[in-house]
Each structure stands twice: as structure tokens, then as C-alpha cells.
Amino acid sequence: MTELATAKLSVKALRRSYDNTHAVSDIDFQINQGEFVVLLGPSGCGKSTTLKMVAGLETPCSGSVELDGRDITHLPPGKRQLAMVFQSYALFPHLSVAENILFGLKARRTPADIQQSRLADVVALVNLSDHLHKKPSQLSGGQCQRVALARAIVAEAPLCLMDEPLSNLDAKLRNDMRAELRAIQRRLGMTLLYVTHDQVEAMSMADQIILMNQGEIVQSGSPQALYNNPASTFVAQFIGSPPMNLMNADNLILGVRPEHIHRDINGYPASVVTCDYHGADTIIEVELHDFDQQRIKLRHPGHLTLVPGSAFPVSWEKQYEHYFSCSDGQRINAPQTHSTHQTTTSEMTHVQAL
């Protein structure tokens, strides 16, 4: 497959209102060539509106969209050199898989030999070589999604936009497709702006996450940065499952992640409320006697059966405490520098020394 053209997207101060209410405002971000960027947030927070303004399907009230330094804010969609994949695959039912994939190239009168060579490459990539002559009605949901994906890839557009492309698929297929999509994006060096409300999807695929709430960006950064250093209680609870525990403590909000809390005979007195076995681990909810009976969840590796009401004292290390303001929920303590999920350099040295 030929090299993709370079693409650097720059979105500046985008704003869009409907009937005097802000759908989105102050949207600023950049995407570098080859990056997989996820716009994440709850339903109605403005993800699709933002994506549509990048695509040219919505007109911003103010702000700009630049692709490689070129202002494309007011260009029609067809002139932006973008490929798009939507939640509804938007396939033509009367056309075959091959015709669906090549539809855009035919419309642009790409020479037939180039069409055929790109088709062969892309169907091998998305595993559709045996289905070229079928109609969409003869395909499974996952195969339809791959046709939509192939149609976007074959365009070799500098920037590809996807709006919840996997949300119609069942859980197992969605998992497989995530891994496939990420692999294809890496192999081709695609620059991808991907919308989802699913934090697991964002965490597992993104180079960079842009987290939105109520029409604004609340934090952007790598998945690790958002997980380890949430900028607010909203971020702390949106990313991670179960979410970070938040406790009222001395006019502050104290946050601790479930995996950082453990049983400790000398810890805070607490008793078991619920105990849910999840296979790899058990999620235990306890009531803290010294903290107004506030409830928190902790993650215990492996299987554990506990009787509700039984004593389960807990503690956590100071380094895993996050503090937020009671008034606006913003983070108060300095960003944590330790990494909770990666092997530290000293651990690696130790492993090598063994």
C-alpha cells in the first residue's frame, strides 16, 4: 500500500450552539501524524458535534480547523480529504462488498488498475477476501463493520474520523475489532480521530485521550496520565472500573483506586458490605467505621468469599492518595510521578540481575 499523506490536525477554540445552548465550547486539540486520538465522554457531551465540525458536516459558530496548516473550517466535506466511519455502517445494500469498498474511488475516477490493487491490499488486511461478491445482507455485523473500515482505509485519506464504529457489535467481537483496528492503524500509520463513550475502548486503543464533559474538554493526555493523575473527580470516576473511591475527609475529597486498597489488620476498621467474584479478582465493598460508614470498593486478586458484616480492616499507601477540592472537584495534590502499571526501571534492573 502506498504511503499515506502527512496529516496534522489542529482544532482551535471551536464552539457550536443549538438554540442558544452550548453544545460544545473552547475545544482545542492537536493530532500529530500517525496518532490514534480518542474523543471520550458520556452521551450528550459533544463528541459527535466536535467530530462533525472536523468533518465539515456541522458549521462551527466560531473557532477553526486546520489540516497541515491549511484552514479547512469552511471547506465542504468532500474537499477535506477525510475518510469517515459511522456507527451505522452506511453500506449500500444493493452493492457487493467490493463495490461498497470501491464506491468512493469510482466516484473520484481513480484509474481501474489502482482501484483493483488497493482493493486486493485492503481486503487482505481486513480479512474479507472470501466475501467480495456478497451483499451486506449476507454478512455478519462484524463483517459489515470491516467493509466500512475497508472503505475508509482504501481512500488513503490523510485523516480518518470514526464515530462509535464498534458500538453495534457484541462484546466479544468488539474486543477483537479493537485489537484489529489498532493493529491496522499502526501498520498503515493512519492518523485517526475516534469517538467513543466507552472508557475501556479508549484506554486500550488510544495514544492520546481527549476527555469531554458537558461540551468542554476536561483533560487530555495519554491513557496512563489520565488514570494516574486525574485532573478532577469527574476524570477520576470516569476512567477505571470500578471507579476511583472518593471519600469526604477534612473538607477535602480523598480519592484512592480500588487496586491500591488492601486488607491490613492494623488498618482502618471496616466491615464487608458486598463481595463480587469476577474471575481474575474479587471486588469487595466495605464500610469504613472511622469515616462516617462511607463505603469504598477494593480489588482483591483471585477468589475470596466473605460474609457480609464480617470485619475487614483496610489500608492504603500515602503515595496512592489523590486529593480534590470539595467546592469544584479539581485536583489539589501534585501529579503523581510513580507509575502503577508499568515496571519501574529499578524493578527492571532487578529482573535483569536475576
Name the binder of 23 from Mg ion, ligand ADP, none, CB < 5-8 A by kind: ligand ADP
- Range list of H helices, 139-252: 141-154, 171-188, 199-205, 223-228, 233-238
- Roughly what angle, to the nearest 10 degrees, separates helices 112-125 and 141-154? 140
> How many Å apart are CA 96 and CA 276, to the nearest integer?
48
Q: Which residues contact 135 (CB under 8 A, 6 or more apart)?
A: 93, 94, 95, 96, 97
Q: Which is nearer to ligand ADP, 43 or 349 (CB)?
A: 43
Which residues of this chain interact with ligand ADP, rule CB under 6 A? 18, 23, 41, 43-49
Give min distance, CB of 47 to Mg ion, in A: 5
CA–CA distances in Å: residue 108 to residues 80, 151, 158: 14, 13, 16
Q: Which is nearer to ligand ADP, 52 or 300 (CB)?
A: 52
Indicate the residue type of 79.
K
> Do 149 and 126 contact (CB within 8 A), yes or no?
yes
Q: Which is nearer to ligand ADP, 49 or 143 (CB)?
A: 49
Q: Which is nearer to ligand ADP, 17 or 96 (CB)?
A: 17
Give min distance, CB of 230 to Mg ion, in A: 23
> Do 144 and 136 contact (CB within 8 A), yes or no?
yes
Stretch that binds Mg ion, among 46-54, 130-138, 178-186, 230-238 (CB under 5 A): 46-54
Give min distance, CB of 9 to ligand ADP, in A: 18
Name the binder of 223 from ligand ADP, Mg ion, none, CB < 5-8 A by kind: none
In this structure, what C-alpha cell is assigned to residue 70?
A: 491549511
Looking up cell 485519506 gives 157
Q: Which is nearer to ligand ADP, 25 or 208 (CB)?
A: 25
Give min distance, CB of 23 to ligand ADP, in A: 3
Name the binder of 308 from ligand ADP, Mg ion, none, CB < 5-8 A by kind: none
Give min distance, CB of 220 to ligand ADP, in A: 15
List strands edge to edge, sheet with 70-71. 21-31, 9-18, 62-67, 70-71
Give the Cβ contact number of residue 163 at 10 Å. Answer: 20
Pick the binder of Mg ion from 48, 115, 219, 245 (CB under 5 A): 48
Stretch that binds Mg ion, among 16-24, 44-52, 207-215, 312-320 (CB under 5 A): 44-52
Q: Which is nearer to ligand ADP, 43 or 337 (CB)?
A: 43
Write out the residues near Mg ion by the rule CB under 5 A.
48
